[in-house]
Amino acid sequence: MKKEDLKALLEDMSIEEKIGQLVQIPGFFLEGESITTGPAAEMGFSPEEIYSAGSTLSVFGRDKIKKIQDEFIKHHPHHIPLLFMGDIINGYKSIFPIPLAQGCSFDPDLVMRLASMAAREASVSGLTVNFSPMVDLVRDPRWGRVMESTGEDSYLNSVLAEAIVKGYQGDNIADHEKMAACVKHFAAYGAPVAGRDYTGVELSERTLRDDYLPSYKAAVDTGCELVMTSFNTIDRIPASANTKLMRDILRGEWEFDGVLISDWAAVSELVNHGIAKDDKEAATLAMRAGVDIDMCTPVYIKNLGNLINEGIISETMLDEAVLRVLNLKNKLGLFENPYHFSEDTKEEEVILCSEHRALCREAAEKSMVLLKNKESILPITDPDKKIAFIGPYVSEKHIFGAWSLLGDEKDVISVEEGVKNLKLKNKITFSKGCGRLDERYELYSFRGLESEEKTDEQRALEQAVKEAGDADIVVLMLGEHPGMSGEAGSRGDIRLLRKQRKLFKEIYNVNKNIVTLVFNGRPLDIKGIVNRSKAVIDAWFPGIEGGNAVARMLFGLCSPEGRLSMSFPYCVGQIPVHYDSFSTGRMYDGDKTNRFQSRYLDIPNEPLFEFGYGLSYTEFEYSDLTLSKNEMSKSVENDTITASVTLKNVGDRDGCETVQLYIRDMAGSVVRPLKKLKGFKKVNLKAGEETKVYFEINTQMLKFTDINMNYSAEPGTFRVFVGGSSSTDEYCEFELL
């Protein structure tokens, strides 16, 4: 539809119709026999109000969506089609690794291909908006939603945010296999006080701008069509009422003119936060902040009419919001094709096709992180080795994370199946050893109370110990239950549950050749496991091809290349711990006799594993770090310095190294982090091969929010580090003039 026709449509709409476009009704309203009775009526929606809605969410399946769309278009006075939105976080049916694992791939091309695959499957099934990417920067693994983020670094998150938006949206969201992306949760939802979901966020504006906002801006700059408000407060103002965040920064500084949707019930929750005395005031605050769509509450639909009649909210403000929603529908081509998908493409041809499965396996292999490999116990190449696979994740098929709403265990390859697929000569046994959950651990997920088929724990343990005693190598498959992370999945104790720690101890007593795999949605306190295992791989929640990927990695058909996207704390008491921290007036120099330094009496300052860390089955050596010159001038247009380093594969296997560039600003008008990631490159080298790796450094990379709140680079000394993790200490210096 042409712009002028859209404007004419808007002018022809009644106030009630306009308000309806700002209302998102929950998909469960539409599941029953009759749309206008049941939950909708219980929540007080009249039939007219329901049929005036502009969007819905979590309705899945092409036929169902088509039927609902037809009914809504028929009932709507101007036959305006609905938007069908959903959370396709790590795949639609072809489920791939959780985003925190994708971050470990350090591979924007892979991440874009995954997003494109997810969009292809979701859009062929009728969805037009994806509540993804989630780009919240995360530094606190107590918070369960770290699994949805790509990690603790703003540069990596920004690069991947751009890749994901491009994957979902392509060049034109009207394309049958593309969809609109919705970046979330704006803003800084990943920094909840005490790591507990939904609490407030207490950040200085400078930290907010320099650390937490860049990844949302990267998504917006890439053309992301929607932004979702977060549940938390910023500066003690809930995001959905925060005009500074939404009007000044998002729409003002960043010039975002897309749709701003609240998170689920976040508008009505302004009353719970205590800044709105009732729904009417909540609607006022949210509209003034620029929230276009009220997700799944009747606040807008029940109050905006009166607010406009009373002149509290202007019809101009209403029209601006409605036009943004109509614009989105128009960009999706819904006025011409309300289904968006093409009748020529069938769901069964696209969903879970072999190409998609292969991509899921590639992603699982590239996201897993080898944390330890003593005596090169991995990969297992000796066909005479007897191997005991033990643990609750040996045959488990729910390995696709907490947000895989459409994931189906029947589509998953378990580790046991993956190992059997290799048809190895080794004598191999498989046993569960114990359940994933402790009896005392009551876990409720969106599926209700999580329970496991009763295991005869004592017999399972005895069997496992026996098999371990008979084996040359034990592969222990341990981990969190997927419901222990994700939304409202905060934990105060981030160790494996007692039952699994007990299993580990019993196995360790009979066999010291332990390879441990961890399935997790967050960094865990696994120092006990790491100290007593010869090798440790973090598999995260790898998705439908996880079993094949794990098997291929254990037996050397693929090599680990993941690097941690988030630090593993030494223990929960160390949180928050992240690589880009600051110096202090009293940095600890290792001298314990000098008490008055910044350290703990009982634990180290360093994390168990740092951001960017990961091993491979070979060894890499760095040498000859060099800068093309040792000065760069702000006043010289496009002035750059080239950093180069020689990288050599000194091992006996081919491998892939993620070469990382960090820069430290030695002094500024405000304190500056000890390191900041400014670039990375993945380099594949054959055994013995060497190459030079180059990075270009420019002034833009050196900017930050200075003492006057201006985003600028300040003259002074800078250190350039290049290495295989954030702990690299080889550097060169240059002066910015």
For ligand GLC, give the closer residue by CB, 263 or 292.
263
For ligand GLC, give the closer residue by CB, 18 or 93.
93
| Cis, bond preceding 379 (omega within 30 deg of 0) | yes
How far, rounded to the nearest angstrom, does the alpha carbon of residue 709 sit from its chain's CA centroid? 29
Least distance from ligand GLC to the Cβ atom of residue 25, Å: 13
Question: Residue 475 to residues 400, 517, 524, 537: CA-CA distances in angstroms?
Answer: 21, 7, 19, 10
Residue 487 in the binding site for ligand GLC (CB under 6 A): yes
Which residues, numbered 2-61, are part of the site for ligand GLC (CB under 6 A)?
A: 57
Map residue 676 onto helix, strand or coil.
strand
Q: Using the rule CB under 6 A, which residue among 84, 92, 131, 341 binds ligand GLC?
A: 131
Determine the size of the site formed for ligand GLC (CB under 6 A). Answer: 7
- In this structure, the strands spanning 640-649 and 620-627 are antiparallel
Question: Residue 491 to residues 402, 483, 517, 580: CA-CA distances in angstroms?
Answer: 15, 11, 21, 24
- Choose, from 107, 263, 411, 538, the residue flagged as catalytic: 263
Residue 396 in the binding site for ligand GLC (CB under 6 A): no
Least distance from ligand GLC to the Cβ atom of residue 47, Å: 24
Closest residue to bound ligand GLC by CB: 131
For ligand GLC, give the closer residue by CB, 264 or 300.
264
Q: Using the rule CB under 6 A, which residue among 29, 96, 256, 264 binds ligand GLC?
A: 264
Least distance from ligand GLC to the Cβ atom of residue 148, Å: 7
Least distance from ligand GLC to the Cβ atom of residue 637, Å: 43
Least distance from ligand GLC to the Cβ atom of residue 143, Å: 12
For ligand GLC, give the closer residue by CB, 263 or 580.
263
Residue 294 in the binding site for ligand GLC (CB under 6 A): no
> What are the residue ranges of helices labelled H in 368-446?
415-421
Residue 658, both tokens? 């993620």
Least distance from ligand GLC to the Cβ atom of residue 151, Å: 17
Please give the single-letter amino acid code of residue 570.
Y
Q: Using the rule CB under 6 A, which residue among 17, 87, 140, 657 binds ligand GLC?
A: 87
Q: Is 729 a catalytic residue?
A: no
Count of beta carbons in the 10 Å neighbourhood of residue 65: 24
For ligand GLC, give the closer residue by CB, 155 or 264.
264
For ligand GLC, give the closer residue by CB, 210 or 263.
263
Which residues, numbered 165-184, are part of the site for ligand GLC (CB under 6 A)?
A: 184
Q: Measured between alpha carbons, how far is 54 from 444 in angstroms, rounded to an integer?
A: 32
Q: Measured between alpha carbons, how far is 463 from 388 in angstroms, rounded to an integer?
A: 11
Q: Measured between alpha carbons, how far is 221 from 228 in angstroms, rounded to an integer?
A: 15
The 3-state secondary structure of 327-358 reads HHHHHCCCCCCCCCCCCCCCHHHHCCCHHHHH
| Of 648, 646, 643, 645, nearest in space to 663 by CA | 643
Q: What angle do CA 147, 202, 245 make, to 5 degrees?
A: 85
Least distance from ligand GLC to the Cβ atom of residue 268, Å: 13
Residue 263 in the binding site for ligand GLC (CB under 6 A): yes
Q: Measured between alpha carbons, how far is 104 from 368 in angstroms, rounded to an integer?
A: 7
For ligand GLC, give the closer residue by CB, 486 or 723.
486
User: Which residues sit at the interface with ligand GLC, rule CB under 6 A?
Assistant: 57, 87, 131, 184, 263-264, 487
Q: Kindly list the catalytic residues.
A: 263
